[in-house]
Chains A and B, each alone.
Chain A
Amino acid sequence: MRSWSIHRPGSSALHRANPLTKLAALLLLAALLFVLPWPGAWAGTLLLLTAAFGLHIGGVVLRRYLVLATPFLIAVFIFHGLIVDRPDRMPLAAFLSYSQEGLTYAAVLGGRISLMLAGSLLFVATTHPAALLRSLDVARMPPGLSFLLASPLLLIDEFTKRAGAIRDAQQARGMRVNTFSDRLRALRLLTLPLVTLALADAQERSGVLNARAFRAFPRRAVLSPPPDTALERRLRHALVAASVLLVGCALWLR
């Protein structure tokens, strides 16, 4: 089974930046989608993917980008360019016709998704989940909330390995997936052990958390907080303010 994490350690400025600053930048990127024309969104995507190569994470980011973006882009261009009936349809070849308006709409949607995807992949590739958890604690987020946001990120690869081990064990016992009824049976054989194990795990984790007085205090102290500077804090505030301003202006001028 595949690994979910595309995080790659490094020492670039983006790697060293506080995870909250990167999240604020991601917020600005989302706000930009409200005002950027579609060529701008595509140019932004290209810029971010190029930046990933400059940070030596280009390979992993581009691969994941292509795997995720390609099906959507193909679907959106075929559907809006060739299938949806619009007044400006022009014959293309044989029984096919296309719509310039539909293709432009597809470029708008594709550009938006591409830009957000490239931005979020850059974030994930340069941010370790543990660093995100620590920065949320430093930001005085309630420990329960930071636990919920970060612990799944730390558990995904472990559970993926567990699911792989259960699959191997069941296949060794004779599980087959040839017919439809085989597959339904296999679904039960694979999910029940995984979920039962997960519930046992949840119980153990809550016991450990309680034993450590996880929520005895409303805020947690962090022994090794991610680096943060006054300049970065000001930058975060500016990024959030700019995001609110952009969305406000876009809605006001609409």
Chain B
Amino acid sequence: MASSTTRLFETRVLSLIAVAIVINIVGNQINDLVRLPIFLDSIGTVLVGVLAGPLAGGVTGLLTNLILGLIVSPVAAAFAPVAIVIGVVAGLMARAGWFRTWWQAAVTGVVIAAALTLVAVPIRIYMFGGVTGSGADFIVGYLSSVGQTLFSSVALTVFGTNVADKVITALIVWALVRQLPQRLTAGYGHLQYSRA
């Protein structure tokens, strides 16, 4: 038999990434029903970061946005670096033990929002002129019209609209990993860092 494929991820992690990408995409539809002012499009990315580490989390984010770019809108593909940051930061925070309690998960959500703001703002300004066709554009417009610069309008908007979303996402993932049966989590070694 030929030598096996050089493996960056085990098959179990590959399957996890594949379903996590779908959770990210479908999560947005769940939000259509509950009508909360959040995106809910990175539960899968954060979950993979916690279960399988920052690299797997980053890959999940990257592929989610590339696939969304292909089937929904190229705008999503342009924000792929932001999705990578979400997965990587979630994985790093989990490794540092910041997913053990609910308040740690909430702080992790804030850290993820701050990190993604650093990457999202230049993309939003230089590729899209500050707007993307979402509801957040109203806030950018308002802040610009009251005298804020384009950079600060976009930075405040991106952080402000993401912080609630990422805190809720991190809390959902925290609640989830506590409730998951052992048979579903056995084999995800990275989860040991998030066990209380």
Interface residues of A (CB under 8 A from B): 1-2, 4-6, 68-76, 78-80, 83-85, 105-106, 109, 113, 116-117, 120, 123-124, 142-144, 147-149, 151-153, 155-156, 159-160, 162-163, 167, 177, 180, 183-184, 186-188, 190-192, 194-196, 198-203, 205-206, 209-210, 214-218
Instruction: Say how far A156's CB is from chain B's closest CB, in angstroms.
Output: 6
* In the A-B complex, the 5 residue pairs with the closest CB atoms: A72-B133, A71-B133, A206-B15, A116-B74, A202-B15
Given the known interface contacts A113-B75, A148-B59, A160-B26, the answer about A76 and B15 at a Cβ–Cβ threshold of 8 Å is no
B33-59: which residues lie under 8 A (CB-CB) from chain A? 33-36, 40, 43-44, 47, 59
Interface centre among A4, A71, A191 (most CB of B within 10 A): A191
Q: Are A149 and B63 in contact (CB under 8 A)?
A: yes
Question: What is the bound-complex CA distance between A159 and B22, given in angstroms?
Answer: 7
Main secondary structure of the interface of B (DSSP, over half): helix
The contact size tier of chain B is 35 or more
Question: What is the bound-complex CA distance between A199 and B187, given in angstroms?
Answer: 12
Give the chain B neighbours of A84 by CB distance below 8 A: 130, 144, 150
Given the known interface contacts A142-B5, A163-B26, A215-B11, the answer about A187 and B168 at a Cβ–Cβ threshold of 8 Å is yes
B30 within 8 A of A: yes
Given the known interface contacts A79-B130, A167-B33, the answer about A117 and B11 at a Cβ–Cβ threshold of 8 Å is no
Instruction: Say how far B169's CB is from chain A's closest CB, in angstroms.
Output: 9
Q: Are A218 and B3 in contact (CB under 8 A)?
A: yes
Question: What is the bound-complex CA distance between A106 and B141, given in angstroms?
Answer: 14
Main secondary structure of the interface of A (DSSP, over half): helix
Interface centre among B7, B16, B35, B185 (most CB of A within 10 A): B16
Q: Are A183 and B36 in contact (CB under 8 A)?
A: yes
Question: What is the bound-complex CA distance between A162 and B75, given in angstroms?
Answer: 27
Question: What is the bound-complex CA distance between A174 and B47, given in angstroms?
Answer: 28
Q: Are B133 and A152 in contact (CB under 8 A)?
A: no
Which residue in A72, A116, A117 is a CB contact (below 8 Å) of B132? A72
Q: Are A148 and B17 in contact (CB under 8 A)?
A: yes
Give the chain B neighbours of A148 by CB distance below 8 A: 14, 17-18, 21, 59, 63
Give the chain B neighbours of A5 by CB distance below 8 A: 71
Instruction: Say how far A228's CB is from chain B's closest CB, in angstroms.
Output: 21
Q: Are B4 and A159 in contact (CB under 8 A)?
A: no
Given the known interface contacts A68-B73, A152-B18, A202-B19, the answer about A190 and B1 at a Cβ–Cβ threshold of 8 Å is no
Q: Are A159 and B11 in contact (CB under 8 A)?
A: no
